[in-house]
Structure 1
């Protein structure tokens, strides 16, 4: 929901930084993998209960996640790069709830499982919509230039990152926050299904 608004502010500085990195010879895929590594390191720190340090790495990893597209736009965009980017995002998204479950299994495990289930459902509708949109030749730049069709929704990347930041700041509230956010993910996925039925039924 917030991605189009946020992108208007973050895209110009990201594009400038992307041109610099591309000029230095950095590849978009390398930036994607660096962002993933930092995100997984953040998850590892969460699992050890080091939430403040984890938050720092989490934020840097998401900057890298925004930079990879900027580097690609300044150099070479590939379809594989788009696939690698979304795969890295989903792996990172799944690693954070798992890390909270590892950090405190008795308090967090069931809520983390519910959150992961909601992510799984939401991701399926997201990718399914993208496939059907590709078949119809649909295009959108609301979330920036993307290899896949990014359907909008109640919860998008910006909301998820804000949610992860709040989790790191308030780790004791993970179960409650996970149930609330997971419920919103289910609503997002259901609304996307309804939209797909309206658009692709024929």
Structure 2
């Protein structure tokens, strides 16, 4: 919901830094993988009971996620780069809830499982829509220039990052926050299904 509003504010900064990194021969894929390593490091810290310490690598991971596209645009974007980016994103989004479950299986297990299922369904609706959008040659730059077609929704990247930060700040509230956020993920997926029904019904 917030991504399209935030992109015009942060893209000029990211693009400037992306050009600087590209001049130093740092590739977009290297930035993507660095972001994944930082995200997994945050997950490890959470799993071992240090959610506050996890905030720094978590936020740096998301900064890298914004920078990789900027580096790609400053150099030579590739389809594989887009594939690697979305795969690493999904790995990160799954690792953080899993880490909270590992930190407290009895207290967080059920809510964490529900949240991961909600992420799975929401991600499936996102990717399926992107496939059909590509088939119909649709394009959008509202959330920046992307390899895949990005549909909007109630919950997007900005909201998810804010949610993860809140979990790190108040880990004792993981279960209720996970139930609420997971439910909103299902709402987002449902709205995307309705949009797909309106846009693609009757298409070959």
Question: Separation in 2 of the partners of 1:175 and 1:142?
Answer: 33
TM-score by length of 2: 0.98
CA distance in 2, matches of 1:68, 1:34: 10
Output the CA distance in 2 between the equivalents of 1:159 and 1:184: 11
- Aligned mates of 1:31, 1:57 — CA distance in 2: 14
Q: Equivalences for 1:130-169 in 2 at 5 Å?
A: 130-169=130-169
- How far 1:162 sits from its partner (Å)? 0.4
Q: Provide the secondary structure at the position in 1 that maps to 2:67.
A: helix
Aligned match of 2:19: 19
Q: How many pairs align?
A: 202
After superposition, give the CA deviation of every residue in 1:3-30 in whole Å (9 maximum; x if it has no partner): 0111111111100000000000000000
1:106 correspondence with 2:91: no
| CA deviation string 1:45-81 (max 9, x = no partner) | 0001111110111001100000000000000100010
Q: When the two structures are superposed, what TM-score results if normalisation uses the length of structure 1?
A: 0.99
| Deviation string, structure 1 residues 104-162 (Cα, Å, up to 9, x no partner) | 11100110000000000000000000000001110000110000000011100000000
Q: CA RMSD in A?
A: 0.4
Q: Following superposition, which runs of at least 4 residues in structure 1 exceed 4 angstroms of deviation?
A: none
Match of 1:176 in 2: 176
Which runs of 5 or more residues in structure 2 are unaligned?
none
